[in-house]
Structure 1
């Protein structure tokens, strides 16, 4: 079978859609027609012709659904006329987006009508795999595709144990969770390959400090925001369209924004102050700010005493916290009134500072240890590391301290709460480095010092607690429990709103690895990225490699380091099946491809999950359930992921099917009276109806959503947003004694198993440490750092194929190029428009065209991130576009991994030369 290769422009689509439903349906509806007009009787022809609209706003129907052009899942309205989608807008009735969509959302129509989509299952006939090999695809039936996948994966798992792997991505988050669950039910167990494009470390620290794996400044009330490695509220991040409105309003009201970023992307461009620091040095800048705050007493002492373990007594010899000798093993504080150490929950007047004699040994409080630890980390110290001005760092720290309003309170719905209208925010720009856990911790620790965590105007979770989605049904409710030995808040997981405790896993878990992700050796991690290292050298880690893979809605060969290097990994696998809209680069290494319906043709359930993973919270954003339904019939009857995984598990046998549906019912909290039939194939609409009725009430089933605009809301209460309202219990860790607990247990386990493992980062207080290539190498020519950034029009793999977004990228003259500081370029004899070769210390090279940009650190080269340089000719829009900086990285070296949270160090030195 020869795969059709086609492209489509905005104009050609407008003409095609116009022919289908009337002249020029799409052009005006989508705002794509050229501006201006011509006199009657002198209509322009050819390329200058305009397409006229024959469809008004009132024609056809407007169908509510959910966008999936990225992971934010904004609520949309789809304008459908005679079965053809002609326009997508935001849904003004939904707080999820508030009637707004970004460029990706508006261009979703092009994903639906892309002629390069596959709609039939395909089987490879050419056994040779590679970027330059034609798979020789032939069409097969759905029965053959399903049966081949099930029988092959089951046979492999029956003989080789945990050899089946799965891969998927956050953009298709619901489908990713279902993929993992389905493979487990079909095969008994499966490994997971995870993209490095995530918040490794960030979600963990945010969970420790707010009990919620996604956190943010309290945008409705904050006055001063410092951003490290994020553009939240200006271009990207979870809930972008929901954040930008509130952020913009606060900026109009006087909020000050400071951006630490090597590149002047959207966040830095909109900031009051741009701090162009050297990449990989964020922690040093943050620690210097903390140093100034402590030196000038901008610390919330009451908060530190009441809501952290800063008063814990620390053993000077071991660094461990002093604990009671009974089974409870509670941390001990110095009770100033009693003049002796007591369990944290019995000390009436805990000392925050000082040194105290306990049985002849001098113990310091954790805060006293911290002050000594932070003392040498001055702005001058940070200036050498970051290349920033020391006085500018000091000024920002002092402004931030003043803005924090330490000691002040405010009242929200009759409840008096601490008022700390200042926050430090971070995201993945900080975590894609060696020592990621130390960097994220260093930045967010500033919020702890000023008492900003879980305070009005400070740093709060997206959805840290829920009392239910209706006043009299707590089914959807959740709240963090307490880890009693320290009084710490546990967390509510990243999506499911289910109780979870890192501390319990650390202190009581089994550290024996059960798979290639080595998760047991990383009890503080939520990401299994280590699988990429173990897969390349399973003997070293005493693991079995993945031999059979099912990947869904992603392009894993392009998301982890050098693509040619990764190609060799996938060539060694015995069987690979993929499910995607397109024949992307990963399809070139697959044996079977099955298509999926686009998001506009399929059903989904609870796109925001329980704790609203992609929906920033706060008092002004109610709990929102927005329906996800098909707006047009799927092309060639292509199934959605709910159908696909239901079919795979049904064909795997009665036990697999029952386990799959039963697990889904538990995950979505379906009540017994609405339980699906475990003996039948999953019925998606019946299942969705059961989820709604179980979590809301009998009245609000699927039919109610269909008839009432597809959106249900329920206001949040004070104690759901500010979790310590009404003096609720709970502390957060200031001194991380549990890191030393992990260190001891990990070292014992890896010694027992003879596994190499780094444990130097298991320390109780944050600090800055350089990444793999931070300092100069022997060859002085390698003097640049390649960095990538995101913008609002380019995230996630499939947007690269979108013809409208491609036009935006081509027209802006930057996105597909390499940005370089003019002064650096001049020194190297490079001019704008020059074709160059960039070579990394790993020996990998990329080529591209240089554009000059003052808004970039002199030591850096940059490009927008994406699955650039597509090598699959079946994706005619994406083929060969962009500079894939990630391919400069080696992906199989353990020394590039953060061994605590499985982050991947993307900092590497390169040299740049004219072609």
Structure 2
């Protein structure tokens, strides 16, 4: 399936580094510069300007600077003012240039004229004006108000900035709907669950790799996909000079290629390995006593198979270690884990000793994959518990919290909702969060999270109701969610779907109205934050070129346009909210148009960072202009050990026996007039009794009979994937071989030669992969870097829309296969996360 047609650029011509990811010179020839020359535009080195922005290509959210000349974006680099990553970068940033100037971008609002919907059916979109588009949306909203059904308006958020709450949450609230659905449960909610129910932190972590001595990574590929790829790419070589690295992954990743040890674990069995490591560390006496504490007489009583009397142990900054041992760990020997995980017992013992010897300057990473499986919540807790056991929490060389930043919030709109709106806000949310089977325990609150993928099922079953108007923003759930086929069927049922997007995507194909979006990095205001290198930063995006086509500010501008039209029809509360709450914090001026609203909202949310009168910590600015010019604010350096015995858990300590989990589960059970055991049963977990309150082993659920589907599927991220949006770029297609085992202009599934021989499959053969959910066609790549019995494939290809390069035949035939068409739409239900990993059985056949 090699795709050879179209423009082919040499690696030298690409604005990408080699293995070291070094930046090429600004003044090297690039396709954009060559296009400018062909158009007669004169390029003079040094005559342009670097402008600060943020890359939204992944959740690293790196601060960037873009070189602008003659109204064109020519080059991108890391922002020199960032203390997180400095001028370091990863390859993905450059793909944004081709996204910006993609000839397939949506340039004007478009209306569907063919009422029939389906893959391969031409929607027959026709261009319309913004006035017509806004009136269509206002018609739907006013009709809902007339019927007292404002709750049937649903917003769906994909990639975003912190301004998106205006469009998705607050503006939706003033209209009278509780249905502001984010993509978070497709991202990392199970990850946050693991740290919240051990150390009280519902958030991400940063890793102090400069001073670490040992990195143990479960499924994380920090050189390709994690939160701060730019920083890790720049520092990884230095880290290897003073630390050892072990990568636990069924696939030999880019990071595994740079590691000391690769452990090809059986998919879904990471918890078994993690618990056996904890067992062995305790048996060897390798826990970090200054954090954990010790036996009163100094005698180690952790002996395999034997219970320990808690009275003999004095804990310091942790809670429940002995209870964890008695309830779960005492039987979980390396031999027990070896049978499940495929990692030899001797190797587990050796790894446990290395971790203990390096403690507390160690760090145990866990990826979205290992915990975003059907029973993965306790895997997240078990692997994070290793960090606690080794004293790595808030420690030099260890695992650090994302420090809080003095960033403001979008002003509340609840008081602007009238009586009709207040009635709508009382309705159950469309994703069914908080039901017995969907606790969605964000920060321990029943129903506090989101169950993104459940919306499709809710629509199909009309439970709790059928939406009338769905507005999607930079989301493509038909492509990015497990079992995306159900979204295609669901969207057919919704009477009116609007989609804000840069390119017509698979979601757009089912829309009635398409609204062109500006590109986040170059054409609009936005705010993001990230952490790394012991700092947290906030960076902005700002309009730096004339917008292509007729796009408007999306997160702020579209609410403004809708509010204007609603006010003309007598419904003035939305506009009253915008002009009252979003005044310019420097002048007090009310916004008079969409662009001013976006600017004022950006200034309002960042005011505590740039206003010298409100200075709290970190970088000190003279005012808004200096902050805008630099584009990034940095916090003060991280304060180590400050949270020891000051954590936001029920005991204020690191919890191996989670009183925080116990409290949350009991409250959820009480809400549904039942007990915790019934909650466990409803959410698919096997634990009963007190085992539910400790990190424990849950056997992975296997999807597909082993006889019919003998192999296990491993979904992973490409080094070049900008969250599935980069496939319409020549630079992306030509450089896919930066991933081990991949090849350019192809969509490959990597098979171990042992399996390939049994299946009579040769390298380059076209193959079909089938699961209980669906079937895809792609190309076989024989690669010894995948565990026998598994097939590994990067997410990103398989578009049948999104552009002429991304698809084989736009609107009809995909280029390769979409991984999510193989994954069943199931969940880690305690958090609401969708399951992308575990034991997904597949059958592989030569076509």
TM-score, structure 2 as length reference: 0.81
Partner SS state of residue 519, structure 1: coil
Which residue of 2 is the match for residue 249 of structure 1? 238
Partner SS state of residue 118, structure 1: coil
Partner SS state of residue 824, structure 1: helix
Which residue of 2 is the match for residue 181 of structure 1? 170
Note if 1:400 corresponds to 2:355.
yes
Query: Mind listing any 5+ residue stretches in structure 1 that lack a counterpart?
Result: 1-6, 16-25, 35-48, 307-332, 337-348, 354-363, 405-419, 469-475, 478-494, 499-511, 609-613
1:554-584 deviation per Cα after TM superposition (whole angstroms, max 9, x unaligned): 2111122233332111111111000000111
Alignment of 1:784-803 (within 5 A): 784-803=711-730
Give the whole-Å Cα distance in 2 for the aligned partners of 1:713 and 1:427.
Answer: 26
1:393-425 deviation per Cα after TM superposition (whole angstroms, max 9, x unaligned): 111011101110xxxxxxxxxxxxxxx201111
Which residue of 2 is the match for residue 677 of structure 1? 590
Which residue of 1 is the match for residue 442 of structure 2? 525
Q: What is the Cα deviation at residue 593 of structure 1?
A: 0.4
Give the whole-Å Cα distance in 2 for the aligned partners of 1:166 and 1:385.
Answer: 42
When residues 256 and 687 of structure 1 are mapped into structure 2, their CA distance, relative to the original with a 3 A threshold, is: same
Q: What is the Cα deviation at residue 717 of structure 1?
A: 5.7
Note if 1:139 corresponds to 2:66.
no
Greater CA deviation, 709-718 or 676-685?
676-685
Return the match for 2:497 from 542, 560, 576. 576
Q: What is the Cα deviation at residue 695 of structure 1?
A: 3.5
Which residue of 1 is the match for residue 560 of structure 2? 646
Contact 1:781 1:911 in 2 (8 A): yes
Return the match for 1:771 from 689, 694, 700. 700
Q: What is the Cα deviation at residue 730 of structure 1?
A: 3.7
Note if 1:443 corresponds to 2:383.
yes
Alignment of 1:413-424 (within 5 A): 420-424=360-364
Output the aligned Cα RMSD: 4.0
Q: What is the Cα deviation at residue 433 of structure 1?
A: 0.7
When residues 65 and 593 of structure 1 are mapped into structure 2, their CA distance, relative to the original with a 3 A threshold, is: same
Contact 2:394 2:642 in 1 (8 A): yes
Note if 1:632 corresponds to 2:545.
yes
Name which structure has the greater RCO, CA cutoff 8 Å, separation 6+.
2
Query: Mind listing any 5+ residue stretches in structure 2 that lack a counterpart?
Result: 14-23, 295-308, 413-425, 613-620, 809-813
1:77-126 deviation per Cα after TM superposition (whole angstroms, max 9, x unaligned): 32222222222233323335411332221121111111111111111111
When residues 823 and 177 of structure 1 are mapped into structure 2, their CA distance, relative to the original with a 3 A threshold, is: farther
TM-score, structure 1 as length reference: 0.75
Greater CA deviation, 136-145 or 851-860?
136-145
Alignment of 1:459-608 (within 5 A): 459-463=399-403, 465=404, 476=407, 514-521=428-435, 522=439, 524-525=441-442, 530=451, 532-533=453-454, 535-536=456-457, 543-608=464-529
Which segments of structure 1 move beyond 6 Å, counting only runs of 4 or more? 49-54, 333-336, 538-541, 661-665, 678-681, 725-729, 752-756
Note if 1:865 corresponds to 2:795.
yes
Q: What is the Cα deviation at residue 591 of structure 1?
A: 0.4
Greater CA deviation, 581-590 or 631-640?
631-640
1:776-828 deviation per Cα after TM superposition (whole angstroms, max 9, x unaligned): 82x62411011121132113132122222122238952661111000111122
Q: What is the Cα deviation at residue 678 of structure 1?
A: 8.0
Give the whole-Å Cα distance in 1 for the aligned partners of 2:165 and 2:8.
Answer: 31
Give the whole-Å Cα distance in 2 for the aligned partners of 1:150 and 1:633.
Answer: 28
Which residue of 1 is the match for residue 756 of structure 2? 825
Give the whole-Å Cα distance in 2 for the aligned partners of 1:170 and 1:282.
Answer: 29
Contact 1:718 1:725 in 2 (8 A): no
Alignment of 1:24-103 (within 5 A): 29=27, 32=30, 55-103=43-91
When residues 387 and 663 of structure 1 are mapped into structure 2, their CA distance, relative to the original with a 3 A threshold, is: farther
Q: What is the Cα deviation at residue 352 of structure 1?
A: 8.4
When residues 428 and 154 of structure 1 are mapped into structure 2, their CA distance, relative to the original with a 3 A threshold, is: farther
Give the whole-Å Cα distance in 2 for the aligned partners of 1:564 and 1:242.
Answer: 37
Note if 1:911 corresponds to 2:843.
yes
Which residue of 2 is the match for residue 211 of structure 1? 201
Note if 1:287 corresponds to 2:275.
yes
Give the whole-Å Cα distance in 2 for the aligned partners of 1:794 and 1:825.
Answer: 27
Give the whole-Å Cα distance in 1 for the aligned partners of 2:574 and 2:632.
Answer: 34
When residues 174 and 294 of structure 1 are mapped into structure 2, their CA distance, relative to the original with a 3 A threshold, is: farther
Return the match for 1:224 from 214, 217, 226. 214
Q: What is the Cα deviation at residue 722 of structure 1?
A: 4.3
Contact 1:602 1:629 in 2 (8 A): yes
When residues 700 and 263 of structure 1 are mapped into structure 2, their CA distance, relative to the original with a 3 A threshold, is: same
How many aligned positions are there?
758
Give the whole-Å Cα distance in 2 for the aligned partners of 1:226 and 1:564.
Answer: 36
Give the whole-Å Cα distance in 2 for the aligned partners of 1:577 and 1:592.
Answer: 5
1:750-789 deviation per Cα after TM superposition (whole angstroms, max 9, x unaligned): 4689999336457011122223217x82x62411011121
Question: Looking at CA atoms only, which structure, 1 or 2, has the larger radius of gyration?
Answer: 1
Give the whole-Å Cα distance in 1 for the aligned partners of 2:105 and 2:472.
Answer: 17
Partner SS state of residue 635, structure 1: coil
Give the whole-Å Cα distance in 1 for the aligned partners of 2:321 and 2:349.
Answer: 25
Partner SS state of residue 824, structure 2: coil
Note if 1:702 corresponds to 2:624.
yes
Which residue of 1 is the match for residue 302 of structure 2? none
Contact 1:513 1:519 in 2 (8 A): no
